Chains A and B, each alone.
Chain A
Amino acid sequence: MMRKTLFVLPGIAFILLAVFLVRGLFLDPSRIPSPLIGTPAPQFTLPDLGDPASQVTNIDWTGSPYLVNVWGTWCAGCREEHEVLLEIARENELPILGINWKDQRELALRWLAELGNPYSAVGADLEGRVAIDWGVYGAPETFLVGADGRVVWKHIGPLTLEAWRADFLPRLAGQGG
C-alpha cells in the first residue's frame, strides 16, 4: 500500500508541473497587469498638443467615463489602432483623452491632420512623466476610467474592435454611462 502511494507521488508532481508549464505557454509576459485598476486615475495637467499655451487635464473629468489613450507617431501599433479609435469616436460612446508620449509636436499634428483626430483633447507629455504615473511602458496603451474617477481597465497594445467589444463595452455598461 505504502509502496503504491510512493510510486504515484512523482506522477502527481509531474502532472502539477506540466499544468503550470502549459499555462505558462499561453501567458504573454509582455502584458504586465496594471496595479492601477480599481484605484483613482492619476491626475495630470499637460500642455495642449495643438496650442501649448493652454492646458489639457483630467482633473475636471470625474462624473462620466472616459478613455485615456497613450500614443506617439514613432509607434507602429498606434497607427494600427488609429482606425479603431476613430470608429469609437464616431460612435460617440465616450470622450477619448490622448497623451502624446515623448513625441514631436509637428509630427503629431501632421499625423492627426492626415489620419483624422479621434481625441477630445491631446496633451503633450514630452518628458514622459505623466506616462510613468500611469504605469505606461509601451505605446499604445488604452485606459478606461469610470464615472467615479477610478481606472476600470487597461488595454496593452493596439486596440481592436474585438477587444473594444469584449473588454471595454461590458465594463462601460457597468458604469451606467
Chain B
Amino acid sequence: MIDPLPRWVRLSLALFFALAAGCAPQQDDAMHDQAAARILQLFNWNNYIAPETIERFEAQCDCHVEQDYFSDNEEMLAKLAAGATGYDLIVPTGNALDTLIRQGVLIPLDKALLPNLKNIHPAYLKTRFDPDNRYSVPYAYTLTLLGFNTSKMRELDLPVDTWAVIFEPEYLQKIKGRVTVLDSPRELMAAALLYLGYAANDQDEAHWNQAKELIIRAKPYWAAFSNTSYIREIAIGDLWVVHGYSNDLFQAALDAQKTGRHFTIDYAIPKQGAVMSLDSMVLHKSGKHTDLAHQFINFMLDGRNSAELTNLIGSGNPNRDAKSFIKPELVHNKVIFPDEDTLSRLEMITDLDHKQRRVLSRMWTEIKLR
C-alpha cells in the first residue's frame, strides 16, 4: 500500500488523464471483445485484490478481468465525472458511495444472484449511506487509528489505547517531533472530536471549535501532517507514534520486521473510538456485464477470496466466513476482526455540505497557520 506519490500528484494526474482520455476503457473493451467474449471492467483501489484471486475468478467464469486503479475516492469521482465509462464494478468508500448513489449512476443489485451475502457480518450491512444495501455490498475496510513503535512506548511508559497520546501535552512532551497526524481535516477532526467525547461525525460548530483548540494546543509537539510518508518513517524508526490507516501500518509493521529492525511496529484502536472506511462493491451504469459483475461480487463474498485480500494487505474483513482462511497470526487481530464492543465504537465519516466544508477548510487553514 505504500504509495510513492503524494495525493495531489495522483489527483492531478488523474484529473489530467481523465479529461484527456475519458473514454479509454471503452476502447480497451472493444479491443478485447474480439479476444475474449466476456470481460469484467473493475475500477479498484491500488493493490486491493490478490492476483491469485483474480486468476481463480477468471478460470471459474471463463472471462477476463481488467482493472483500472485509483488511490483516492476524489480521484475516482473526478475520473467518472470527467467522462470515464465502461466500468462494471467500482469499489468506493462510504462517503463516495453516498455521492454515487445521489448522482444516480449506480445499478441496484439483484440479491438473488448473491447467495454469499449471508457471510457478511450484519454490523457492516445497512450503513447510513445505503440503508437497504440496494446498491452496495461490503468489500473490506480500513480503520484510522494509532500506530506506534512498541519498544519506545514501553520505554517511555506511554498508553497506546487512547487518542490522548497525540493530543495531551503531558504525553506528547516525551515524544515531541516523533509524532505525525494525517493531513486530512476530516480524519484529524474526527480523532479530536472522539477524544473530546463527541461523535466523529459531530457537526456542531462549537464542538468543532473545541476540537480545533485541542489540535492547536497539541500541534507544536507534532513533527508533521503526513498522509503517506509516515509509513516509511515509522518503519525505519524516525517516528514513534502516528495517526494513520490500518492497512498502511500493517505494511509498515511488515517492513520493519522484514528489514530486521530492533523494534516492532504495532497499531491499536483507541478506546474513544475510531473512524472506519468501509469500501463496498457497486455496479456502475456504464458497465456492460451486469451478470458477470454479480458473479464477481458473489465470488468475493466467499470467505476464502475475502481472506486472501486480508492476508495480503491486512485489511479489515467484514466476512464471517473468512476467519478460517486467515493467516494464524492475523486471526486475533482486533483491527481485522473487531469484537462487538470495538465495533460499536467505529464510525463511518459522512459527507459535509459546501458551507460546512468551507467552515472546516477555514479552521484547517487556521490550524496550519498557528
A and B from one assembly?
Answer: no
